[in-house]
Amino acid sequence: MNKTLQKYRKKSGTSTKTDSFVHSLNVNRMAKTQVFTTVKSLQNHLSEVAKNRTVGFVPTMGALHAGHVSLVEASAEQCDFTVVSIFVNPTQFNNASDLEKYPRNFEKDIALLEATTETIVFAPTVEEIYPEGHQPATMKLGRVAEIMEGEFRPGHFDGVVEVVYRFLEIVQPTHTFFGEKDLQQLSIIKRMAKEFDLSVEVVGCQTHRLEGGLAASSRNERLTEDQKGKALILFQSLDRVRKEKEQYSPREAREKVKEWFQDSELELEYIEFVDATTFEDVTEWTSNTHGCIAAFAGEVRLLDNISMT
């Protein structure tokens, strides 16, 4: 069993406070959001209301923000029903401290969804998702999981495949929606759906950005206002390369970004320019080149990517 999962099997999941809130929400007939905490209750509900209808699925780890809202809205536009999962998945964290500090605010998340559109929320415990005897789905990920996020977060994408496959197995959606900010993750989920012959359409949605270009992220909640301002260097560096790329080769552009970060308080972890399909490094600019970047603002790790076209 994954060591992080073993450690958090009894610590994570819906709390008594959350269960109480779910009960009070479900008895409110005016609520646009219905919350389910068990696989059986969710599947029973979907079998009643969504038979022969389109179902969109938006997987989240909570700490919802405008980026998640854009995914929910995309699902609502394309599908008859939208299921949003709120589950902090322990198997995709290679750093136990990062898991502990991951922001959690279930009531705030529900309030945001209530203000958005009608949704079905699935907020299971760890035991519900990974019961005793659970056998994780696995696949060979190749280069896409060996560089950038794969290199600096070993085992992360194995956890992503495991949990997303499990949720797709439970929800059986016709569509599932992911943000393009997590470019490697989106690529892997598309490959997973193809490899396992899943009858679901994986939809990539444009990165939602805050004022100045900062990519919307749950981790932004851990930033001070000063750090949010300084974190703009992630997007600004990529955007500057995009605008000035005729002056540099991709290799030279990497060195330029490293120079720009020397005057920043953020610690650059990586900057890569890759083909967005193969994730191979590029030696010249193409229509499929993406710039991908990760950096630390204090203890908070942030990432971003943009197309270089």
Which residue matches tokens 């994730």? Answer: 279
Q: Confidence band (pLDDT; 50, 70, 90) for 5?
A: low
Looking at residue 202, its pLDDT comes to 98
pLDDT for residue 278 is more than 70? yes
Q: With beta carbons less than 8 A apart as the criterion, state whether 90 and 5 touch.
A: yes
Looking at residue 59, its pLDDT comes to 98
Looking at residue 17, its pLDDT comes to 52
Adjacency order of strands within the sheet including 267-275 = 267-275, 289-297, 300-307
Tokens of 155: 């085992």
Comparing 2-6, 68-72, 203-207, 260-264, which segment has the lowest mean pLDDT?
Answer: 2-6
Helix (H, G, I), strand (E, B) or coil at 171: helix
Query: How many Cβ atoms from other residues are within 10 Å of residue 141's Cβ?
Result: 18
Q: Confidence band (pLDDT; 50, 70, 90) for 27?
A: very low
Q: Tell me the CATH number for domain 212-307.
A: 3.30.1300.10
Q: List, for residues 204-261, the tens digit of each pLDDT value.
A: 999 999 999 999 999 999 999 999 999 999 999 999 999 999 999 999 999 999 999 9
d(CA 159, CA 164): 8
The domain 3-205 belongs to what CATH superfamily? HUPs (3.40.50.620)
d(CA 27, CA 18): 14
3-state secondary structure 207-248: CCECHHHCECCHHHHHCCHHHHHHCCHHHHHHHHHHHHHHHC
Q: Where in the chain is the domain with CATH 3.30.1300.10?
A: 212-307
pTM for this prediction: 0.89
Looking at residue 151, its pLDDT comes to 94
Q: Where in the chain is the domain with CATH 3.40.50.620?
A: 3-205
Helix (H, G, I), strand (E, B) or coil at 99: helix
Active-site residue, from 65, 68, 208, 290: 68
> Known catalytic residue: 45?
no
Mean pLDDT of the chain: 91
Q: Please, which residues have CB within 8 angstroms of residue 133's CB and are 6 or more apart in sequence?
A: none
Looking at residue 167, its pLDDT comes to 98
